[in-house]
Amino acid sequence: MIDYDKLLNSIPEGLNQIEIARFLYIELGKYFIYDPDVIAAQDIETRKKIAYRGINEITNNKVVCISLSKIYTELLRRCGINAETVYIPGDPNDTKDIGHAFTQIDIEGKKGSVELIRDLTNIKVGLKTEYFLPSITEEKMKKAEERGLLDKIDTVLTLDDSELRKIDDKIGYTYNRSIFR
């Protein structure tokens, strides 16, 4: 099991809030893997039990979007960064859909989203990540509007590739390729 206090104590000195958020994103991405048990579970209650585990209920390195977002959110808050787990309910007509979650961070009044679960493989193999403060696509905005979540998605806090590369260089995360081929 990951030692969260040790992780927090390993944050390099002199990082700003976005850099701290990125450091934690990368370090958690190195440790956690997607939990296949949530897919294998046949009933919704078992899936929810797996998905909704909190920071102290994870006893291995297996997570899903909801549990990982909760962990990341908690660690960001411990660092003084405003963050929340945003839950998108599943399709009520699909008895196996437990929904999705991502983390929204608020730094100096600017909000942005991160989806660490989607970058786990990229981080593990040393590729450029795609879901740390990305620009919100038109498709994502449409889905958010359909679900009444526009107030939860704010595209103000985003990073372009050059900004992200500078942060990655500073925290020691290097990658040579942007895609797996």
pLDDT digits (tens, 9 = 90+) for 7-57: 999 999 999 999 999 999 999 999 999 988 877 877 778 877 887 787 888
Give the Cβ contact number of residue 15 at 10 Å: 16
Domains and CATH numbers, the chain: 4-171 (3.10.620)
> pLDDT tens digit string along 157-179?
888 888 999 999 999 998 876 65
The overall pTM is greater than 0.75: yes
What pLDDT, on the 0 to 100 scale, is given for residue 179? 58
Of the listed ranges 72-76, 151-155, 170-174, the one predicted with least confidence: 151-155
Q: How far apart are the first and last CA of the chain?
A: 32
**Which DSSP letter does residue 127 get?**
B
pLDDT of residue 172: 93
E strand spans, the chain: 33-34, 62-63, 82-88, 100-107, 110-114
Name the pLDDT band for 90 (thresholds 50, 70, 90).
confident
